[in-house]
């Protein structure tokens, strides 16, 4: 029984009656993240409009249900026990995009590699570093994700959110307080529904060349065949300057290929943990804890996670705070 006095099948019927987008009961979370890990979510909803997002947020508030917002699940570790609450997937159903001069206005569910290519075709510079990131715009803005020491926040002009009370709000770049892999949106309970990005003008052929270089480098460096969540540990500028990037440190302490259960520190890139087949969240968390302990003992540095763990009660926290 959820916190609400209704059963989940009853809640599902109420959601369907609200015409809120695609809804499901008992949705396997393993199918909703790139690690392919996690038990069932009691309810999964995929809204197709900002109004549906707002209605869903109000619904979960009224029924006192935990709510977890996800995009492509490329930065998330779900628990083997799943989620006793509602997952809102902001994905293909909320992915309209418009380009007007140097400005791109895109919904939260837009897929980043597709967005980067559209910017390239329109001769817009600034998003080249995102072309290999397999998430959504909402997830990228939330995490201030990017590569080559850049973050999407540098191009953000405005962010439209539905706040935890179901009210729509527009936030400026300054209000989002972007910093390395961080934004003020984290932990706010807000859902990113639309973003305006500002770019410079440039030569599509040159932008395309830069993107191809990035994609080739990724293909050479990163594991591609086994499920993973990208970089597990944060790589801050301070860390680079003192001890070096996490992949190098983990390799130095001899943990490339280390394995717990079906989770393995990738032999290809030590900042990736791959699922060899049937890995559990317990395996991954134990491996994260083992890596952190070894690095602390041998190098004297505390690694922090970029990857977020989602508890069965819907709490989202850096995975090292759970491991």
Ligand X SMILES: Cc1cc2nc3c(=O)[nH]c(=O)nc-3n(C[C@H](O)[C@H](O)[C@H](O)COP(=O)(O)OP(=O)(O)OC[C@H]3O[C@@H](n4cnc5c(N)ncnc54)[C@H](O)[C@@H]3O)c2cc1C
Clarify whether 306 is annotated catalytic.
yes
Smaller CB distance to ligand X: residue 113 or 123?
113
Which one from 95, 231, 235, 281 is the annotated catalytic residue?
231
Closest to 178 measured CA to CA, from 198, 199, 200, 150: 150
User: What's the closest the beta carbon of residue 108 comes to ligand X, in angstroms?
Assistant: 4
Closest to 73 measured CA to CA, from 320, 316, 323: 316
40 HSE (CA, 13 A, CB side) = 7
Smaller CB distance to ligand X: residue 243 or 316?
316
Smaller CB distance to ligand X: residue 251 or 306?
306
The footprint of ligand X (CB under 6 A) covers: 34, 69-76, 90, 108, 133-136, 138-140, 142-143, 145-147, 191-192, 222, 228-230, 308, 316
Compute the C-alpha angle 284/109/153, nearest 5°. 80
Smaller CB distance to ligand X: residue 213 or 254?
213
Which one from 181, 183, 264, 292 is the annotated catalytic residue?
181
**Rounded-to-integer distance, Cα 90 and Cα 135, Å:** 11
Clarify whether 216 is annotated catalytic.
no
How many CB atoms are closer than 10 A to CB 286? 15
Sheet holding 263-265, edge to edge: 259-260, 263-265, 273-275
User: What's the closest the beta carbon of residue 311 comes to ligand X, in angstroms?
Assistant: 12
- Cα separation values, 225 from 40, 74, 147, 268, Å: 24, 15, 21, 11
User: What's the closest the beta carbon of residue 212 comes to ligand X, in angstroms?
Assistant: 16
User: What's the closest the beta carbon of residue 179 comes to ligand X, in angstroms?
Assistant: 13
Clarify whether 181 is annotated catalytic.
yes
CB-CB contact of 103 with 125 (8 Å):
no
User: What's the closest the beta carbon of residue 300 comes to ligand X, in angstroms?
Assistant: 26
Smaller CB distance to ligand X: residue 48 or 145?
145
Smaller CB distance to ligand X: residue 138 or 246?
138
- Cα separation values, 138 from 94, 145, 266, Å: 10, 10, 28
User: What's the closest the beta carbon of residue 53 comes to ligand X, in angstroms?
Assistant: 9
Q: Provide the annotated active-site residues.
A: 181, 231, 306
């Amino acid at each position: 029984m959820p916190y609400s006095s209704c059963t989940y099948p009853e809640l599902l019927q109420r959601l369907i009656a609200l015409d809120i987008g695609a809804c499901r009961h008992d949705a396997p979370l393993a199918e909703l993240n790139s690690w392919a890990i996690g038990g069932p979510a009691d309810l999964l909803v995929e809204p197709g409009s900002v109004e549906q997002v707002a209605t869903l947020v109000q619904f979960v508030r009224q029924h006192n249900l935990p709510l977890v917002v996800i995009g492509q699940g490329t930065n998330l570790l779900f628990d083997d026990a799943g989620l006793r609450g509602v997952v809102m997937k902001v994905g293909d159903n909320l992915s309209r995009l418009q380009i007007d001069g140097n400005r791109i206005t895109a919904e939260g569910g837009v897929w980043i590699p597709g967005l980067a290519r559209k910017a390239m075709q329109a001769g817009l510079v600034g998003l080249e570093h995102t072309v290999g990131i397999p998430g959504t715009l909402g997830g990228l803005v939330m995490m201030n994700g990017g590569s080559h020491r850049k973050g999407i926040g540098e191009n953000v002009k405005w962010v439209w959110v539905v706040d935890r009370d179901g009210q729509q709000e527009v936030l400026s770049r300054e209000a989002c307080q972007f910093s390395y892999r961080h934004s003020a949106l984290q932990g706010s309970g807000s859902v990113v529904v639309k973003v305006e990005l500002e770019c410079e003008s440039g030569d599509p052929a040159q932008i395309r060349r830069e993107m191809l270089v990035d994609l080739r480098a990724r293909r050479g460096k990163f594991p591609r065949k086994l499920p993973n969540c990208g970089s597990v540990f944060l790589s801050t500028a301070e860390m680079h300057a003192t001890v070096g990037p996490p992949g190098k440190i983990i390799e130095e302490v001899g943990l490339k290929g280390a394995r717990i259960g079906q989770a393995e520190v990738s032999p290809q890139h030590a900042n990736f943990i791959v699922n060899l087949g049937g890995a559990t969240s317990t395996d991954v968390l134990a491996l994260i804890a083992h890596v952190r302990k070894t690095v602390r003992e041998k190098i004297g540095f505390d690694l922090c996670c970029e990857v977020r763990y989602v508890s069965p009660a819907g709490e989202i926290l850096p995975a090292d705070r759970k491991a």
